Structure 1
Amino acid sequence: MKETILQSVENKVQAYVGNSRAHLKEADLDLIDRKKELAHSRNAEIVKCRAEGQVISKNKVDDQTYLNYLVHYQFLLNQNERLYLEEVCEERRAIFQGNELINDEEIQKQEEESFHETLERDGSESEDTRGFKYNRLEAVRYAEQWWNSYNPKYKKFEVDCTNYVSQCLHAGGAPMTGYPNRSKGWWMRSNNWSFSWSVAHALRWHLSGAKSGLRGREVSSPEELMLGDIICYDFEGDGRFNHNTIVVAKDENNMPLVNAHTTNSRMRYWEYTDSTAYTPNIKYKFFTIVDDD
């Protein structure tokens, strides 16, 4: 079974860098084609791809075996003679009937908690926000350090994208506010946290509505973003945002490259059209972080 998984990973690697399409399912081919098309639209090319697969759990139920495994992809892209490395880690589940592989797909995760649609804006603050200056380089440094691991000083969530982005923002000097009201401000303390710290939709509304401490100014295009800024994603286009990323670099076209958690990603192109969560109805919000200078 492990050998079957590793061969499947190798088949995908060959498909990313060449025209080999044998033994791949339609869903995998669609994702590969979208990633190639995304690179082409940016005048870029995937010149090399490598991947490592690791089985992390195995369970048998009746005559079916469930293997959870992790794949770490590395894509070397050439854009106008500039090379950069994009990395993505997928957690996948393969299902075998006997020794036959009958299903293999990325594990989709759901946020563990909801929040009040109307967040409170006023009240006491847990830290002094006067003179807040956002250190973008420190936020990016933290994003690079922890893109594929988890800082033990913070709680880890199954859907960790907003928790990770919040940690990056705090590393950049953004002050926590609103403790201990979970519907107010933006904070994490001990084993408690605000909705805006950990829930994608809540952070999106906090950034646009906060009047002090961590706050954002919405801009109309990704080109306007700077390092350390935030992109919010509504994959279904239904008005509820379900993913956040942090800008860590710009490509040759001045477009953002982002880091993220849940599907851990580094230097990924901001559009996410190569994601299994992508739909044609996707909507984005672009926030540049505002400080007191």
Structure 2
Amino acid sequence: MGMLKEIWLDFFKSERNADDWWTRKKALLKKREAEIVRIEGNGEIFRKVRYENEMEYAYLLHVTFLTKQQDVFHMEEQVIPYEFQLVDGEITNHKQIPPEIQKRSKQPIVPEQSVENEDLRFSYDRLAAVQYAERWWNSYNPEYRKFDVDCTNYVSQCLHAGGAPMRGAPVRDQGWWYQGDNWSFSWAVAHSLRWYLSGSAEGLQGKEVENAETLIPGDVICYDFEGDGRWDHNTIVVAKDSHNMPLVNAHTDNSRNRYWSYEDSRAWTPNTQYKFFRIGE
């Protein structure tokens, strides 16, 4: 771990190798009138491949930012995948691994909303949803399957922890549910959950609002990074910053207390579109 920390710090300090993640991060902090007080990072290797005269390493960098905004401090955490090659003792091709976003289909799945003879009402426990989001932001509840693209599965688990009732099983394109080794598309596919939230009339429901600042902890944000109508990512609001803007937790590239806009993400583009959902109203 010490070796990885030294490798990453050398990479981070090198203007020659600086990637746009840090550039975007600084720009977003300036926009928020915030500054980094302290930054720390540790790495964990998850893949190691040996060739004739080189080693290829992939590791997860757990980076922690202590930021100050006005007189309020926030602790933001991200887990970012990096890779590099070690050739004859020299480090080469050190770079961030491109982020995984929701796999796209030519015909995105929009779940059916109608379920006969069900009258599901619930009182949303926002605190329980946020507590779950904090407990599992950088680990995986063994009661559920872990997906390569895990953002929507994670948000669904948070919503269920807050009391949202499942419905529609065992039909995968109907309702919102997880059962045994099976689940609805809306449980695990970003595009499907976005449309489920806007169309459900019972049980788990989302009320679309215009502005991010109106969201409160326990609410959901959906992201269309390409702006093409196919939704890629979901996050759950866990806190608000000094300007009353949401801070979110997420899986896939695991994040905690991240600023809601994701402008510091390599998945973000100027065409990015958002949907903001108040849950349980």
What TM-score do you get using the length of structure 2 for normalisation? 0.92
Determine if contact 2:133/2:158 at 8 Å carries over to the other structure: yes
Give the alignment partner of residue 186 of structure 1, picking from 176, 182, 188: 176
Amino acid at match of 2:10: N
Determine if contact 1:134/1:172 at 8 Å carries over to the other structure: yes
Residue 76 (structure 1) aligned with residue 75 (structure 2): no
> Which residue matches 1:159?
149
Q: Pairwise mapping of residues 271-286 of structure 1 onto structure 2 (< 5 A)?
A: 271-286=261-276
> Which residue matches 1:122?
114
RMSD value, Cα: 2.1
Q: Which consecutive aligned stretches of 4+ in structure 1 deviate over 6 angstroms post-superposition? A: none
Distance 1:243 1:177 in 2: 22
Residue 173 (structure 1) aligned with residue 201 (structure 2): no
Residue 200 (structure 1) aligned with residue 199 (structure 2): no
Distance 1:249 1:110 in 2: 24
Give the alignment partner of residue 17 of structure 2, picking from 14, 19, 25: 25
Determine if contact 1:113/1:199 at 8 Å carries over to the other structure: no
Amino acid at match of 2:6: Q
Deviates more, 1:33-42 or 1:223-232: 33-42
Residue 6 (structure 1) aligned with residue 22 (structure 2): no
Cα shift readout 1:167-206 (whole Å, capped 9, x = no counterpart):
0000000000110110001000000000000011110010
Cα shift readout 1:214-236 (whole Å, capped 9, x = no counterpart):
11111110011111000001111
Distance 2:254 2:248 in 1: 11
Distance 1:69 1:271 in 2: 26
Partner secondary structure for residue 198 of structure 2: helix
Give the alignment partner of residue 130 of structure 2, picking from 128, 132, 140: 140
Residue 164 of structure 1, CA deviation: 0.3
Structure 2 spans left out of the alignment, 5+ residues = none
Structure 1 spans left out of the alignment, 5+ residues = 16-20
Determine if contact 1:58/1:67 at 8 Å carries over to the other structure: yes
Residue 45 of structure 1, CA deviation: 0.5
Residue 281 of structure 1, CA deviation: 1.2
The percentage of aligned residue pairs carrying the same residue is: 49
Alignment CA distance shift 1:167-1:24 (3 Å) = farther
Give the alignment partner of residue 258 of structure 2, picking from 268, 280, 291: 268
Determine if contact 1:249/1:258 at 8 Å carries over to the other structure: yes
Distance 1:287 1:198 in 2: 17
Residue 38 of structure 1, CA deviation: 0.9
Alignment CA distance shift 1:286-1:63 (3 Å) = same
Partner secondary structure for residue 121 of structure 1: coil
Distance 2:171 2:257 in 1: 35
